[in-house]
Structure 1
Amino acid sequence: MKLKSYIIIGYLVSTLLTILAVFWAIQRMLIDKREVYFLVGITLIASFIGAMISLFLLSPIFSSLQALKLKVKKIANKDFGDPVTSKGPIEFQELGEAFNDMSANLQQSFSSLAESEKEKRLMIAQLSHDIKTPITSIQATVEGILDGVITPEEHTHYLTTINRQTERLNKLVEELDILTLNTQEKAPDSPSEVIFLDQLFIHAMNEFHLLIDQENRDINIQVTPESAKFTSQYDKLLRILVNLLNNAFKYSEPGTPVDVKGHLTDQTLTISVTDKGTGIDEKEFEHIFKKLYRVEGSRNMKTGGHGLGLAIAQELSHQLGGEITVQSQKNVGSTFTLSLPIHNENSIN
């Protein structure tokens, strides 16, 4: 039974009780019969007018309830549409606003789930490609050796190829493991320690010493103040810096310089890595920190890697309470900047 029916029945019952009460009262009075009919008629008319006024006042509530009912059916079919406009008492207006908030949150949740599922499918497709390519190369090389197509004199060359492809697979698995561990909510943190900024830069550069010599790079390092030290998690910071440097070398031509700057204040640590490379279109900025995302469409393994370096760096920066941002111009170069809040007594100049 609808709410309107309950209200009408309630008024009918109320009117009937009123008439019975009037009859009972009249029987105890010396009143003419015509006056009795008049009183009963007045009572019926007053009750009818009161019922009409009440239904008129309640009509906005009925229309709001009908609108909410239709909206619920649409939401059940994932059709969120326009928000509901609730009329009537303040309580119903507040109910409508709460319902609209719930609808907006549900729409956002469904959109996030759809985007997450899309990214998941893309990740699986890209991982399949990244894993299949070296495996295919290794398989073809091994079959060539077993079939005698590859002569013994060529074994060393092709075994070197197998070794290189195996290293690619190991690096991919290692990066995936790191990313998985870093995204666990309860992953244990490494202990904090006092870090000298210049030493952090030197240790990060040591990993690229051979590459810097081979590509004849000029590395410009600037630390302000020169004796800057602070307390943080060394392993995570080193990993972030190494990934940013690797990205700079990867996307710039040999012989071009790379600038590394560090600036420490009482509250903030800022580390920037600048290259003179291919640059990034502004439309790519919101995507470059996603897992397995690569800027170039060719997916060149020489430059593209596995698309995990920046994702790992950003995840680590978030764990430290910081953020990595990018400034870039196509065919000019890029600057990746880590901003990290510092709250300790060792963050002195």
Structure 2
Amino acid sequence: MTLRYYLITGHLIAILITLIGVFIGLNYMVIEQKQVFFIMAIVITASLLGALFSLLLLSKITTSLSLLIAKMDALSRRDFQTDISITSPQEFAHLDLAFSRMAQSLEESFASLTESEREKALMIAQLSHDIKTPITSIQSEVEGILDGIIPPEDTPRYLKAIHGQTGRLNHLVKELDFLTSEVYGSDKENEVLETIYLDKLIIDVLSEFHLQITDEERDIAISVLPESAYIMSHYHKLYRILQNLVSNAFKYSPAKTPISIDLIKAKEKLTITVTDKGIGIGPEHQSKIFNRLYRVESSRNMATGGHGLGLYIAQELAQQLGGFISVDSQKAKGSKFSLSIPLKQEPKNQTD
């Protein structure tokens, strides 16, 4: 039985009880029979009119309930774009507003899940390609050596190529391991701040590129202001961010071109800028380069060997430190990556 029929039945029962009560009461009064019928007729008419007006008012409630049911049915079909709006009664209007907010939240959640699944599928496809390509190359080169197809005098050259391919695989595994352990598995509440001297941080990072700097005859310009400045932060995160930015500068700029690294400690923030004179990044790519697995060179250039994780990891770590990385780049003129992070409270017993 629907709500409408419940209400009609309730009103009819209320009218019947009222009539019985009035009829019994009139029988105990000294009233002529003609007057009894007249009073009963008035009571019946008034009761029916009252029931009619009550049902007319309640029809708005039943209509609102029907609209809510229609919204729920649409939601069950994942149709979130319902234009149905309830204005009265006020409680139902509030319920409709809350329901619309819930529907909007669900729509955003479903959209996020869909995008996440799409990104996951893309990530698996890209990583599969990045893993399969060097493995296939290694397999064919090893088979060539074992089968005697490759002459002995060429073996060192092929072994060097195999070494490079295994290095790419090892780098990818390290990136993925760092992604899961540091970016997704970071316990921010239990992290301890460290005193980090900026000049030492630069030396530690550049020591990783010592051979490359020598081989490519790079001119590395370093500036730390003020000199001997230090901050309170997380060393391994800052190191990783700066290492990724410097690595990108080497990858995407020709040998013998300069790279500059500027660290400026202001009162409330630290700014680290890495500038190169490389190939640059087009404006259509600059808003996407921090996305996971995004690569400007979709062809997966073997010379650069990027996997599209470095800048994503760097930006994630920067956000964990409360900051962000921005890029200013022009095609064929070079790129400037800038890290800005707020500074933590420093110990009072130390001075710059």
Shorter-chain TM range is over 0.9
| Alpha-carbon contact 1:58-1:88 (below 8 Å) kept | no
Distance 1:44 1:266, change over 3 A: same
Residues 40-59 of structure 1 mapped to structure 2, 5 A cutoff: 40-59=40-59
For 2:279, the equivalent position in structure 1 comes to 278
For 1:3, the equivalent position in structure 2 comes to 3
In the alignment, structure 1 segments of 5+ residues that lack a partner are none
| Alpha-carbon contact 1:83-1:100 (below 8 Å) kept | no
* 1:192-228 Cα distance to aligned partner (Å, 9 max, x none): 3211112212221222222223333332222222232
Residue 190 of structure 1 deviates from its aligned partner by: 6.1
For 1:93, the equivalent position in structure 2 comes to 93
In the alignment, structure 2 segments of 5+ residues that lack a partner are none
Distance 1:285 1:153, change over 3 A: same
CA distance in 2, matches of 1:223, 1:160: 39
* 1:92-146 Cα distance to aligned partner (Å, 9 max, x none): 1110111001000000000000000000000110011000011111110111111
| Alpha-carbon contact 1:266-1:343 (below 8 Å) kept | no
Moved more, 181-190 or 283-292: 181-190
| Alpha-carbon contact 1:251-1:303 (below 8 Å) kept | yes
Residue 191 of structure 1 deviates from its aligned partner by: 4.3
Length, aligned pairs only: 349
For 2:329, the equivalent position in structure 1 comes to 328
* 1:233-252 Cα distance to aligned partner (Å, 9 max, x none): 11211111010111122122
Residue 317 of structure 1 deviates from its aligned partner by: 1.8
Give the ranges of 4+ consecutive aligned residues of structure 1 lying more than 6 Å apart after TM superposition.
none
- Partner secondary structure for residue 195 of structure 2: strand
Among the aligned pairs, what percent are the same residue? 51
Distance 1:186 1:218, change over 3 A: closer
* 1:151-208 Cα distance to aligned partner (Å, 9 max, x none): 1111111111111111111111111111110134455866432111122122212222
| Alpha-carbon contact 1:219-1:257 (below 8 Å) kept | yes
Q: TM (normalized to structure 2)?
A: 0.92
For 1:19, the equivalent position in structure 2 comes to 19
Residue 49 of structure 1 deviates from its aligned partner by: 1.9
Residue 332 of structure 1 deviates from its aligned partner by: 3.1
Counterpart residue identity of residue 218, structure 1: D
CA distance in 1, matches of 2:258, 2:58: 76
| Alpha-carbon contact 1:204-1:238 (below 8 Å) kept | yes
1:230 aligns with 2:240: no
Counterpart residue identity of residue 12, structure 1: L
Q: TM (normalized to structure 1)?
A: 0.93
Moved more, 201-210 or 175-184: 201-210
| Alpha-carbon contact 1:84-1:96 (below 8 Å) kept | no
- Over aligned residues, Cα RMSD in angstroms? 2.0
1:202 aligns with 2:195: no
Residues 1-349 of structure 1 mapped to structure 2, 5 A cutoff: 1-185=1-185, 187=187, 191-346=192-347, 349=352
Residue 257 of structure 1 deviates from its aligned partner by: 2.5
